[in-house]
Amino acid sequence: MTLNNPTLFASTVLIWGTTWYVILGQLGTVHPVVSVGWRFLAAGSILLAICTVRGIPMRLPLTVHGLALLQGLTLFGINYCLFYTASLTLTTGLISVIFSTMVFWNALGAHWVLGKPLEASVLTGGGIAITGLALLFLSEIEALAWTDQTVVALSLCVCATLCASAGNLISAKTQGAGYSLWPTTGFGMLYGSIMVLIGARLAGIPWEFDFTWLYVGSFLYLVLLGSVAGFAAYLTLLGRVGPGRVAYATVAFPVVAMGLSVLFENAVLDHWTALAVALVLLGNWLGLTRHHRNTLA
């Protein structure tokens, strides 16, 4: 069954809107870097198993394996390691605001690297949506204490966002060349996880696993939904609409996270929240509904 673009977008937003909180279940006994390694080792293995069951060819040229290696290093390795580490210092709201700037990095990267046209609607809509997102988490931004530790954590988030954007561009390149995202993503996750785990061992970080219900439950959720289903939907959509537009998911899913906070953490909504959500929706509408062949509408 082939899912349409709006369904893929909604699936990505709903899945990743919940993972911001689930990730907190991974922070504790096991070092965040090792948790990232275990997560994508499992997810990559599952994706390649799906390829086997569905009969999707997994023989790839050496150059494509090289691109998968780079994708694994950037999108599934450095990106997540830095964000997991930053989560020890920063709130998820602040992290999501920084991550949402990928709308710009993807659009610029697609223009510079892939030769895609740089569309004003994507940049304008992205600016409006990110403004709304910043307003949504304004209290967290205002409460930010500018210590050395905070500055380092913010820098990690910026680097992580750039790495994620690079991984997006690599996926766009391999899909554009006609290669299925299933084996390339599966190998990318495996390569990324292996590099992460080796890096952790070289840094003296033990390979641990926490068998508590919280850690195992959050781990399975992040592997099956956050990684396998989430990236399958996101990268499929990326191949259809391009890196610039698909990055709007990074602006939309923090709104889902805020909704969950209202339901389960007694967060209070006010007129500023309503304005923030309206700006996010307006920005998404401007950036995603321009009439062309690969539009979401």
At 106, the amino acid letter reads N
**Token code pair at residue 25:** 């279940």
State the sign of the Cα–Cα–Cα–Cα dihedral 23, 24, 29, 31: positive
Q: What pLDDT is attached to residue 294?
A: 46
Q: What residue ranges of the chain have pLDDT lower than 50?
A: 291-297
User: How far is it, in rounded angstroms, from Cα 253 to Cα 20?
Assistant: 9
Structural domain spans, the chain:
5-288
DSSP 15: H
Q: What is the pLDDT of residue 146?
A: 79
* Amino acid occupying residue 279: L
pTM above 0.85, yes or no: yes
DSSP letters, 103-120, are HHHHHHHHHHTS-----H
CA 171 to chain centre: 13
Q: Residue 262: what pLDDT?
A: 64
pLDDT in tens, 40-81: 999 999 999 999 999 999 999 999 999 999 999 999 999 999
Alpha helices in the chain (DSSP H): 5-22, 32-54, 62-73, 79-86, 92-99, 102-112, 120-136, 138-142, 148-176, 181-202, 213-221, 230-241, 243-246, 249-264, 271-288
Per-residue model confidence (pLDDT) at position 291: 46
Residue the block writes with tokens 């450095």: 78
Write the DSSP assignment of 221-257 as a string of letters.
Answer: HIIIIIIIIHHHHHHHHHHHH-HHHHTTHHHHHHHHH
Give the CA distances from residue 179 to residues 37, 51, 60, 175, 182, in Å, rounded to whole numbers and listed in that order: 25, 13, 8, 5, 9
The alpha carbon dihedral of 102, 107, 113, 114 has a sign of: positive
DSSP labels, 262-273? HHHS-PPP-HHH
Position 150 scores a pLDDT of 87
- Residue 296, pLDDT score: 45
Lookup: tokens for 106: 């993807």
